[in-house]
Structure 1
Amino acid sequence: MFLTISTTGTPERPATDLGYLLHKHPEKAQTFSTSHGTAHVFYPEASAERCTAALLLEVDPVALVRRGKGRGGAPDAALAQYVNDRPYAASSLLSVAMTTVFKSALNGACRAMPERVGEPLPLRIEVPALPARGGAELVHKLFAPLGWTRVEAVAVPLDEQFPEWGDSRYVRLLLEGELRLADALRQLYVLLPVLDDAKHYWVAPDEVDKLLRAGEGWLAGHPEQKLITSRYLSRRWGLTRQAMERLELVRLAESDDLEVESVDNAVDETTDTEEKPVPLAEQRRAAVLEALRAAGAARVLDLGCGQGQLVQALLKDVRFTEIVGVDVSMRALTVAARRLKLDRMGERQAGRVTLRQGALTYTDKQLKGYDAAVLSEVIEHLDLPRLPALEYAVFGSARPRTVLVTTPNVEYNVRWETLPAGHVRHGDHRFEWTREEFRDWAGQVAGRHGYTVAFVPVGPEDPEVGPPTQMAVFTMTTAQETTKEAKAA
């Protein structure tokens, strides 16, 4: 299997910087052991004007068969185990080799030249033998939306001596465009096995996490998202559905970032001499902080932390000794890390905060044992059928002593002059509840999981329609807390 990555440069920005980004010196030929053979990295050319890095993977077909021993198969397929395209055509084997050889580059890490990691490079990528179930048309559908200015997939004939036999299912792939190197490598990591429509190893549940990490920033909005997800996960429906749900949450989170400030946080216009009202978002954070202090919470989960505004506010109060922000969107977490200045934070302060990617509709053992959890303006972004999954993940599995849930009060919407009648406050809100609907839901949740619940208005309370935001404060009952402590002991 063969792959080349080329770039061009100038005396000020030499092309040989590619060696730093790949963590492979242009003057050396290096060899790496992989689970299915030997990978070689070398540079056919390396000058300031042009540099090409080549990855050659020598696959041992006998070792490949031995690793798959016991998986069954038809007796007449024995010869096909040894005589096939696996050692030659780019596939998931090459993707795995990339994670071994170019791990730091895939992660976008480069200590020597950190400033170049985020810069687009003029890239040219070539794969001489790529299986493509779907042909050149599918290759274009997969790569063209990703920013490549040239996507060329030339069909390889079955036999050049017998053109009447037609074309094989293989293509010669050429990609050209200005992209970040890490983005280009991640796209190849996902799309090589997608085009092959096969993987050489058993697809375990952790493949969903691998797909979402590699697809960060491009997969959630890709027009062929469903096909990519299904093929990458070997058409395992349960995993595909899980991945699609998480990708949908990523898309929604990212759409929030692009939206103009929603009416939920709007303030009335005032003159320079008038006192400007406090935005509702700030009032909401203040109410959450007050409730957390009243609960005596020290270790706090911010579930659906977004861009880290609440995490930032929690860090300013030393009584909160451990703060974990969880969000499905890596983009939002990246913004949060910049907002918090994590890279420049002191060791003691940095030890108080953790940012983690995770879907709130799935249980996570690492979220157990905390004093409090906050779901601030989160539930209304989920489809109603997904709420029971979130309920169990938070109240049934994580089980913090205190849970705070804030959500818009739809009754108050008539007071927003800029909001058309019948519209929700944000384009992504799947529902907005009345005070009665919210109280009914919260009461049922509390009853099912051993909590009591109280309700706190957030923002100016209108005598007719109530406050703009409603907050439920769930507190674990004494009996449940005693049982929890006994189990921990």
Structure 2
Amino acid sequence: MFLTISTTGDKTNPATDMGFLLHKHPDSPFSAPLSYGTAHVLYPEADAERCTAALLLEVDAVALVRRGKGKGRGGAPDTALAQYVNDRPYAASSLLAVALSRVFSSAMRGVCKARPELPGQPLPLRVEVPALPARGGPALVGRLFEPLGWTVTADPVALDTEFPDWGDSRYVRLVLESDTLTLAQALRHLYVLLPVLDDAKHYWVSSDEVDKLLRAGEGWLPGHPEQQLITSRYLARRWSLTRQALERLELVRLAETDDSDVEEMDNAVAADTGDEEKPTPLAVRRREAIVAALAASGATRVLDLGCGQGQLVQELLRHPAYSEIVGVDVSMRALTIASRRLGLDRMGERQASRVKLLQGSLSYTDKRLKGYDAAVLSEVIEHLDLPRLPALEYAVFGAARPRTVVVTTPNVEYNVRWESLPAGHARHGDHRFEWTREEFRAWAAKVAERHGYDVGFVPVGPDDPEVGPPTQMAVFVTGETKDRKEAKAA
């Protein structure tokens, strides 16, 4: 079983620079023992114009059986003979994917200390896999790789060239070509999609496979048109794990969206009113309203749930009243951007002790989120499918149970005030719903009743007498918080 990765270059940018990225020198063949065989890396060609790295995997079928990882798996019938005589040593599968992650782990992470400028540079790449099981045929291979920027050639392999009437096998000879991808992106694509096409894994799939999938799929899987098929097959069709992964991927899309289009429409409305001053973006007005609600609650320890790129966390840090601000998001990419926005690496020790960024899914209870004074869900709920809202409701209002919860969401009635928004369209392509004021109030009232909160409503932005404000905000408070406020006022 083998795979080759080739690139081209010139004297200025020699193709052999790929050796720095792979952390394998072209003049030194590399071997690494694995639990099921041995992986070798060698370079059939390596000069300034063209460089090819080959990963050769020698699979020991007997070792697979003895370790209990080959029996009945890998698409082979569960018979004594099939444990030893099967396609695992000859066809790309999860075995090859694991070997990629072991021998090219730094390259997959995009790490290169010797040449730190190289990992972010796209390369002219050509990947060849001579024998790839493709359950779904060449058409599925194209559907998986083409949306990622690859030019795909998937030639079916005949069952027997001497007997063409027998037709094609389930294997293809795969060639992928691209000049827009980095090597790290290419390796992550292969790591996920090789076992997806084989539709089998040589090891038991446990819950940590969800984290592996999300790490390797970061930046491309959340928006892939075959996301559900990829997720299901990668996780060996285990529905509980697939559902967990899909929910987290949905929240990744949420974290990577912004409100720039909404802000532009809001500015256009302000300009139409004849206001000569520079209009205030709707996102800024939302943050101002949220900060005012938090200040009125007396909260000092605050959660920003679905914090995205950290705009609200940054605003809250400007107020010394908040002793602890925690941003939570499922996307490591969003949290990385938030960390850079906040300048955590340059922040003084005292200021840094006030802020924390956590990765987590809002669809699951998380003991780290308990005990806080307040939580904010700003422009979050409308990105979830309605059947998944109850899980978020329980995780926030039932399990974490902060004394105050602030929720903002678009008011769909206000959409008619934006001439640039076509009738019947949501403000953002990822919005699964947008509620009227009545619908939002009905949902909020039910949540408050179920979990022992009182709820009030605040308009955000210009409150139109006919259609209301562009953003609607609900402020939930527990009876304890209400009693404290009344006592303080007295």
TM-score, structure 1 as length reference: 0.85
Partner of 1:224: 226
Q: Secondary structure at the match of 2:44?
A: strand
Moved more, 271-280 or 96-105: 271-280
How much does 1:402 deviate? 2.3
Asked whether 1:187 is paired with 2:189, we answer yes
Q: Summarize the Cα distance change of 1:119–1:321 in structure 2 as closer, same or farther, 3 Å threshold.
A: farther
Structure-2 change in CA distance of 1:265 and 1:367 (3 Å): farther
Matches of 2:471 and 2:220 in 1, distance apart? 34
Larger deviation, residues 391-400 vs 312-321: 312-321
Describe the shift of the 1:148–1:350 C-alpha distance in structure 2 as closer, same or farther (beyond 3 A).
farther
Contact 1:323–1:353 (Cα < 8 Å) also in 2: yes
Aligned pairs (5 A) from 1:123-272: 123-149=125-151, 151-159=152-160, 165-178=166-179, 179-251=181-253, 254=256, 259=261, 261=263, 263=265, 267-269=269-271
**1:284, CA displacement in angstroms?**
1.4
What's the counterpart of residue 57 of structure 1? 57
Give the letter for the 1:52 counterpart.
Answer: T
CA distance in 1, matches of 2:274, 2:439: 40
Tell me the SS of whatever aligns to 1:405: strand
Q: CA–CA distance in 2 between the matches of 1:119 and 1:72?
A: 42
Question: Does the 8 Å CA contact 1:264/1:425 hold for their aligned counterparts?
Answer: no
Alpha-carbon contact 2:130-2:172 (below 8 Å) kept: yes
1:485 aligns to what?
Answer: none
Q: Which amino acid aligns with 1:303?
A: L
**1:384-399 map, 5 Å:** 384-399=386-401
Instruction: Name the amino acid aligned to 2:122.
Output: P
1:115 match: secondary structure = coil
Q: Which moved more, 1:131-140 or 1:241-250?
A: 241-250
Give the Cα separation in 1 of the matches to 2:51 and 2:419.
60
- The separation in 2 between residues aligned to 1:297 and 1:423, in whole angstroms, is 37
Alignment-derived partner of residue 112 in structure 1: 114
Give the secondary-structure state (helix, strand or coil) at the position aligned to 2:288: helix
Q: Secondary structure at the match of 2:11?
A: coil
- How many residues align structurally? 480
Which digits, 9 at most, give the CA deviation of each residue in 1:409-441, with x for residues without a partner?
Answer: 445556556556666544544443344443332
Matches within 5 A, 1:346-385: 349=351, 352-385=354-387
Query: What amino acid does structure 1 have at the position aligned with 2:169?
Result: S
CA contact (8 A) 2:409 2:473 kept: yes
The aligned counterpart of 1:484 is none
Task: Report if aligned partners of 2:196, 2:234 keep a CA contact under 8 Å in 1.
Answer: yes
Shift in Å, 1:203: 2.0
- Alignment CA distance shift 1:411-1:3 (3 Å): closer
Equivalent runs, 1:280-299 vs 2, <5 Å: 280-299=282-301
Shift of 1:181: 0.8
Check whether the contact 2:404–2:476 (CA below 8 A) recurs between aligned residues.
yes
Show CA shifts across 1:110-138 (max 9, x none). Answer: 23333222211011212222222233333
Task: Indicate how the Cα distance of structure 1 residues 443 and 161 shifts in structure 2: closer, same or farther if over 3 A, else same.
Answer: closer
Measured in 1, the distance between the counterparts of 2:165 and 2:436 equals: 70
Change (3 A) 1:319 1:32: farther
Residue 5 (structure 1) aligns with:
5
Which moves more between the two structures, 112-121 or 132-141? Answer: 132-141
* Matched letter for residue 225 of structure 2: P
1:262·1:426 contact (CA, 8 Å) conserved in 2? no
CA distance in 1, matches of 2:374, 2:91: 52
**Aligned equivalents of 2:273, 2:453: Cα separation in 1:** 46
CA contact (8 A) 1:266 1:279 kept: no
- Partner of residue 470 from structure 1, selected from 464, 467, 472: 472
Query: 1:177 is matched by which residue type in structure 2?
Result: S
Q: Structure 1 residues 337 and 239, CA, compared in 2 at 3 Å: closer, same or farther?
A: same
In 2 relative to 1, CA 340–80 (structure 1 residues): closer, same or farther, beyond 3 Å? same
Contact residue 270 and residue 276 of structure 1 kept, 8 A:
no
AA in 2 matched with 1:68: G
Displacement after TM superposition at 1:72 (Å): 7.2
Partners of 1:93 and 1:428 lie apart in 2 by 36
Q: For structure 1, which segment, 16-25 or 220-229, has the greater mean C-alpha deviation from structure 2 after superposition?
A: 220-229
- Evaluate the alpha carbon distance shift between residue 210 and residue 265 of structure 1 in structure 2; reply closer, same or farther with a 3 A threshold: farther
2:1 matched to 1:18?
A: no
Q: Which amino acid aligns with 2:303?
A: L
Q: In 1, Cα distance between the equivalents of 2:70 and 2:132?
A: 28
Per-residue CA distance 1:228-269 (angstroms, 9 max, x = gap): 223222222333344344444545665657857453565512
Amino acid at match of 1:87: P
Unaligned regions of 5+ residues in structure 2, if any? Answer: 484-490
Give the Å deviation of 1:463.
5.5
Alignment-derived partner of residue 122 in structure 1: 124
Are the aligned partners of 1:377 and 1:407 in contact in 2 as well (CA < 8 Å)? yes
**Which residue type is aligned with residue 175 of structure 2?**
L
Q: Is the 8 A contact 1:89 1:131 kept in 2?
A: yes
Indicate the SS of the match to 1:94.
Answer: helix
CA RMSD of aligned residues (A): 3.5
Report how far residue 95 of structure 1 moved.
Answer: 1.0
Shift of 1:192: 0.6
Residue 188 of structure 1: how far off its partner (Å): 0.3
**Secondary structure class of the residue paired with 2:271:** coil
> Given the superposition, is the C-alpha separation of residues 174 and 476 from structure 1 closer, same or farther in structure 2, using an over 3 Å criterion?
same
Identity rate, percent = 76
Aligned counterparts of 1:142 and 1:258: Cα–Cα separation in 2 = 30
Distance 1:402 1:38 in 2: 57
Q: Distance in 1 between matches of 2:118 and 2:35?
A: 31
- Residue by residue over 1:179-222, the C-alpha shift from the partner in whole angstroms, topping out at 9 and shown as x without a partner, is 11111011101111111111111222332332232222323333
Letter of the structure 2 residue corresponding to residue 125 of structure 1: V
Distance 1:76 1:431, change over 3 A: closer
